Every structure is written in C-alpha cells, then in structure tokens.
Amino acid sequence: MTCHPLEPVRRPGPPAPSAADLTVYGCGEHEAVLFRELAPRFGVRPTITDAPVSEGNVGLARGSTCVSVGHAARVTRPTLRALARAGVRHLSTRSVGCDHVDIEHARSLGITVVPIAYSPDSVADYTVLLILMLLRDAKPMVRRTDLQDYGLGRLGTELRDLTVGVVGAGRIGSAVTTRLRGFGCRTLTHDRRHDAVDGVPLDDLLEHSDLVTLHVPLTSRTHHLLDPERIGRLRPGGYVVNTGRGALLDTEALLAALESGRLAGAALDVLEGEEGAFHADRRGALVDPVLSRLQQLPNVVVSPHRAYYTGHALRDLVHNTLASCVASTTEARHG
C-alpha cells in the first residue's frame, strides 16, 4: 500500500495547545533539540530516545497514543503488536516513505501510520550535488589532491550536453527537474501516478537518457525497478543516481554493469541493507561485501542516506510530527 505524506510542509503557527503525549524513537541529537524547543508550543509532552523502536522499549510509549519513528530501522510486526497493546493508535514516521512499516498490519491493529513530509529542496539540492560529483570526477580528484597529486585527471562533462531522466514526478522529482533545467540540459520524466506534460514510458526514458535519477517510493511494484533487464537498457557510458530507496535498484546488476565498464558511474545515497551500516561510525568494523565493492570503484559515490539532512528539513519533520500528533489526539477525543 502506498502512503502519502502529511501536508503541508510550510510551517504556520502551531495550533492551540492540546495536551498530548508523544514518544519519539530513533531521535538524533539535532532532532531532539528541535522536539524540546517546539513541543511546548503544541502542548505536547515528548519522551525522547535515540534507540529505534523495538519490543524491548515499547514500555516508553505506555500512556502515549502517539509514537514517532525514524526511517532507519524496520518496525516489525511483533513490535507493532506490542505498541497496540501499550495503547498506541497513531504512528508517524519521520520520512516521506513508509516502506519500513507494515501499514496493513498496523491498520489491522488499530494503528494509523502517517508519513511526515518535509521540504523537497534538501533532497533535490543533494541530488544535483551527486550528479555534478559524478560528471566532474570529484571522488578521485579529492583523493588525489589529499595525496598532493594535483594532476587534472580525466575530462569532465557539462550537464548542458546531457539528457537526464528523472524517474518520479512527485514533489522531490519535480524539484530536481526544475533545478536541472537551470543547467540547460534536456530532461525526461516518468511517473505512473502523474500525467506529466513531458512524461515518457520508463523504458524509453532509460534508452534515451545519459543519466537517470530515481525519486519514486519503494513499494512491491517498484522493488528492483531497475532490474538486470532495465539496467541493460541504459545507454553505454551512462550514469545512475539514487536518493530514493536502496531497493529501487538491483545492486548486484548495477555492480556488474559498473565493474564491466558498461556504465560510467553511479551515486548512491541509499543502499539495499543499509540498516546494518549507515548512521553509525563503522571504522574498524567488517564492511558489507557489496558496500565494499561499491566503495572501491573510483566512479561510484556512496553517502549514508543523508540527502534529507538539513536544518530546514529537520525543522519541517519535527513541526509536522508534532502537528500530526495533536491532530490525532484531538480527533480521538472528539471521536
């Protein structure tokens, strides 16, 4: 089932205070500061922990009808059942996607799942950054200069000379397209949910784009949207950028195309199985073999799911999480 983010992302003044309890799981230090700053304006009493929600810490939510979770950890069915037993009826996830929560199972338990929207500009800006890093060979260049090798390296490519395919015409995909057009490149878009004026079938987009960037939600229909067959349709010497969800790409098929030289490069802010690696200091630890293979390639840029991570976006997430909790509590009281 597809979930749709709470709107709007603009931050009007908070509603009149209406006492509500909210347990916030998986909360980073910057989010915690914002929750403590903004919660009193909404009349919300937050309980905050940096631990992801699990059966072992559901007790923190006892007495709260609302909980908020991050995007980095899966909310299992046993955890959902434990939350329901604790009295939770509203679960918001601080992300525009909710593929890490079984929405139908939550609904069967009487828990409403609400994804929380934020400004698309954070991810759109970061996507363009990754594109430019690929086209200007930024990763090898930085590594060389760190070693005091100041050679020019390979020739770069200008965006205005390319056709860029944007898969997904939602808020983030549209913001990416707007930015790309400012560079003078040709853009193609595809989105099965939107009647975009210049929308094209996905296979046509893949065959006619020099670079493809992914901005669709992860569902059963989009899992491995770029599978071996579709990766084979990409132009030789093309690029792939993914700031959506890792499982939109068949990683092994992508690696094969990169290692063979058929594709010129990839930039990945998300990765299949990232939950075991990202958002922690892993220095000295064993690295996932697939992640290691990707990072060893000079034409692959990997970042730890941080495209959204700006002060503006975090404030949006916290503000809209609190507003969602208040709205849910008010609705429950007025039945």
CA angle 221/167/313 to nearest 5° reads: 100
C-beta of residue 23 within 8 angstroms of C-beta of residue 66: yes
Quick one: average pLDDT of 104-121? Answer: 95
Each residue's pLDDT tens digit, 115-142: 999 999 999 999 999 999 999 999 999 9
- Does residue 274 carry a catalytic annotation? yes
Q: What is the mean pLDDT of residues 46-65?
A: 95
Q: Catalytic: which of 89, 94, 305, 315?
A: 305
The two most distant CA atoms of the chain are separated, in Å, by 69
User: Of all residues in the chain, what percent carry a pLDDT higher than 90?
Assistant: 82
Burial class (CB in 10 A: 0-12, 13-18, 19+), 327: middle
Is the pLDDT at 240 greater than 90? The verdict is: yes
Residue 333 annotated in active site: no
Whether 124 and 164 have beta carbons less than 8 Å apart is answered as: no
**Dist CA 219 CA 222 (whole Å):** 5
Q: Give how far Cα 169 sits from Cα of 173, 215, 319, Å.
A: 5, 8, 25
pLDDT band at residue 73, thresholds of 50, 70 and 90? confident
| Token output for 265 | 């490069």
Confidence of residue 194 (pLDDT cuts 50, 70, 90): low
What pLDDT, on the 0 to 100 scale, is given for residue 198?
62
- Known catalytic residue: 315? no
pLDDT in tens, 157-169: 999 999 999 999 9
Report all structural domains of the chain as residue ranges with CATH numbers, in order of start.
20-118+311-333 (3.40.50.720), 121-302 (3.40.50.720)
Does residue 65 carry a pLDDT above 70? Answer: yes
In this predicted structure, the answer to whether residue 6 has a pLDDT above a threshold of 50 is no
pTM of the model: 0.90
Q: Which of 245, 272, 315, 319 is catalytic?
A: 245
Q: Which residue has the higher pLDDT, 320 or 193?
A: 320
Q: Are 191 and 199 in contact (CB under 8 A)?
A: yes
The yes-or-no verdict on residue 4 having pLDDT over 90 is no
Quick one: pLDDT band at residue 62, thresholds 50, 70, 90?
very high
Tally: H helices and E strands in the chain: 11, 11
